[in-house]
Every structure is written in C-alpha cells, then in structure tokens.
C-alpha cells in the first residue's frame, strides 16, 4: 500500500497592528506569498492606504483566529498596542514586535502569558512597497512553535533568519543603525564636503550615490579588507593631510575617526607610513 502523502501545513494566520512602513511591507510580502494576513491600521489615513493596496482589514474574527499578531508600531507604542489588542486575541495568539532595540521583556509590562517574540527586518524600509526579500531578519522568541512560525514567515518573505542573543540586542541594533541610518548621515557629510568645493548639494548627492553603491558592491564581492579603497589603503599620507586641511572641523573629526577605522583594515602598510598616518589621524 502507498504511504499517504503528507499534506503541506497551512501557513499561520497573521494580523498586523499598524499599517506604516514595516507593517505595510510585511503585509504586502505575506499576501504575495499566499498567506492569510489582515491589518489593523490606526488612523483613517492608514485605513485608506491599506484599502488602496487591497490589503484586508482585520475584524474581530481575524484577531481571535490569528496565530501571530505582529505589532508593527513605533517602539514606544508596543506596550499600548499590546494592551489595545490583548483582550480580542485568541488564547494562544503569539505577540511579536518588529523592533531591533526592544528586548522581549517589553511584553512583561502587561500581564500577557502568551508566547512573545521579535521579528526585526534588517532592511531600511521607507515605504510599504519596499521589498524585504534578499535581506536578513533577526528573530527572537520565548517559544519553539512561535520560533518555527517566525522562521516560516522569514522564508515566505525571502529573508534569511538570524539569531541574536537577547543579551547582545543593544550592540546588535547599534551595528544595524551604523550600517543603515548612519550610513545616510555619513553620506550627508560627503555631500557637505562637495559643497565645500563649491558644488550644488543635489548634484553632489546624485554623483556620490553611485560611488557609494560601487564601494558596497566591492565589499560584497571581495569582503571588507579587499573592498576598501582610498588614500589610507594606498598609504598616501600627503593626500590625507590635504583632505584634513580642506575640511571644516566637524567633518575633519568624522574623516579622522573613519580613517583610523580604515587603517585597521589595512595591515600591509610599511611601518613608517602607518606611523605617519596614525600621527595625522590622532
């Protein structure tokens, strides 16, 4: 007799509280993957946005039946949003926030006995239509079934799950911020340096963006050390000196700090060149 074929497990039902950038991106991604997902926006404007993108609005039955309730709200609203939905959720619905900074203990401020977790996409999402696929997502949870469901959700969205120990959450999130938001702040510094040279800021940004993208592509292909370019790698002391003399003090400090970091990625410099650069960058 033939062994009966195993039926594929249905994906868990999901309700997302908040239809902002992250809530919207997760909702659209899960819908695309064929998951049963509904959203609970707060303002009339967000309700309109969800309707325009043909995302289902959650009703009471959706809240009762959901296996995952994702709180895609600002960090400071995770507690209040949890209080808002707690009574309407089914008894075993898990609560999940999307913050990189908040520990899971944020849920202990309420009296919830539910499994709780976190699903933090390592993506700079500035619009609900931004793609999540191809990026990593940090998962944390208090429960094995929930963990399995969060992994399934990551895979459905085309994301690679990453485990981050709760004790290292702040350092992990600092790293994430350094690589995204603060990269934008660094780009603002680069635009200001072009402005010092007399260039228009808009023109500067347009020319610098592809340069930054090429630097990131180099790192993607060859790693941090081999992808690094610039006068520090070349041991060009006089160029570094000229740069420092041309920049206003605040940009000079930023340039020094980052060049010291670049020096750490450049082990092969002759000792006298390294010493000269270290003195200049101190």
Ligand X SMILES: NC(=O)c1ccc[n+]([C@@H]2O[C@H](COP(=O)([O-])OP(=O)(O)OC[C@H]3O[C@@H](n4cnc5c(N)ncnc54)[C@H](OP(=O)(O)O)[C@@H]3O)[C@@H](O)[C@H]2O)c1
Q: Which is nearer to ligand X, 25 or 204 (CB)?
A: 25
Report the 10 Å Cβ neighbour count for 243: 19
Q: How far is the CB of 137 from ligand X (least distance, A)?
A: 9
Q: Regarding beta strands 116-121 and 136-141, do their DSSP bridges make them parallel or antiparallel, or are they unpaired?
A: antiparallel
Q: How far is the CB of 181 from ligand X (least distance, A)?
A: 8
Q: How far is the CB of 195 from ligand X (least distance, A)?
A: 27
Q: Does 121 bind ligand X (CB under 6 A)?
A: yes
Choose, by CB under 6 A, the member of 15, 22, 39, 232 that binds ligand X.
22
Q: Does 99 bind ligand X (CB under 6 A)?
A: yes
Q: How far is the CB of 275 from ligand X (least distance, A)?
A: 42
DSSP E strand stretches across 133-231: 136-141, 160-163
Which residue stretch of 118-126, 203-211, 252-260, 268-276 sits at the interface with ligand X (rule: CB under 6 A)?
118-126
Q: CA–CA separation, 277 vs 282, rounded Å?
A: 8
State the binding string over 60-79 for ligand X (x if CB under 6 A, else -). Answer: ------------xxxx-x--
b/e for 9-18, b at 16 or more Cβ within 10 A?
eebbbbbbbb
- Coil/strand/helix, residue 122: coil
> CB nearest ligand X: which residue?
20
Render 61-85 in DSSP notation, one character per residue: HHHHH-SEEEE-S-GGGHHHHHHHH
Residues forming beta bridges with residue 118, ordered by sequence position: 97, 140
Q: How far is the CB of 32 from ligand X (least distance, A)?
A: 18
Q: Which is nearer to ligand X, 99 or 259 (CB)?
A: 99
Torsional sign, CA 61, 49, 123, 85: negative
Which residue stretch of 52-60, 94-102, 154-162, 210-218 sits at the interface with ligand X (rule: CB under 6 A)?
94-102
Report the 10 Å Cβ neighbour count for 41: 23
Would you tell me which residues interact with ligand X (CB under 6 A)?
A: 17-23, 41-43, 46, 72-75, 77, 80-81, 84, 98-100, 120-121, 123-125
């Amino acid at each position: 007799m033939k062994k009966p074929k195993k039926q594929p497990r249905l994906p868990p039902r999901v309700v997302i509280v908040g239809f902002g950038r992250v809530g919207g991106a997760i909702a659209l991604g899960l819908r695309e993957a064929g998951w049963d997902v509904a959203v609970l926006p707060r303002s009339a404007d967000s309700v309109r946005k969800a309707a325009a993108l043909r995302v289902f609005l959650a009703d009471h039955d959706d809240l009762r039946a959901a296996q995952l309730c994702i709180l895609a709200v600002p960090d400071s609203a995770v507690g209040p949003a949890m209080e808002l939905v707690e009574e309407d959720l089914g008894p075993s619905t898990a609560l999940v926030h999307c913050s990189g900074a908040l520990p899971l203990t944020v849920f202990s401020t309420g009296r919830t006995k539910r499994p709780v977790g976190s699903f933090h996409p390592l993506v700079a999402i500035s619009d609900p239509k931004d793609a999540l696929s191809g990026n990593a997502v940090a998962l944390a949870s208090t429960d094995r079934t929930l963990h399995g469901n969060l992994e399934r959700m990551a895979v459905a969205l085309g994301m690679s799950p990453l485990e981050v120990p709760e004790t290292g959450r702040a350092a992990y999130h600092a790293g994430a911020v350094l690589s995204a938001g603060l990269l934008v702040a660094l780009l603002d510094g680069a635009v200001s340096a072009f402005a010092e040279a007399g260039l228009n800021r808009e023109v500067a940004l347009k020319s610098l963006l592809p340069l930054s993208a090429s630097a990131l592509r180099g790192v993607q292909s060859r790693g941090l050390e081999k992808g690094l370019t610039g006068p520090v790698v070349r041991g060009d002391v006089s160029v570094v000196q000229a740069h420092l003399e041309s920049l206003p003090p605040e940009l000079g400090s930023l340039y020094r700090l980052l060049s010291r970091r670049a020096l750490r990625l450049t082990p092969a410099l002759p000792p006298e060149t390294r010493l000269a650069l270290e003195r200049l960058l101190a």
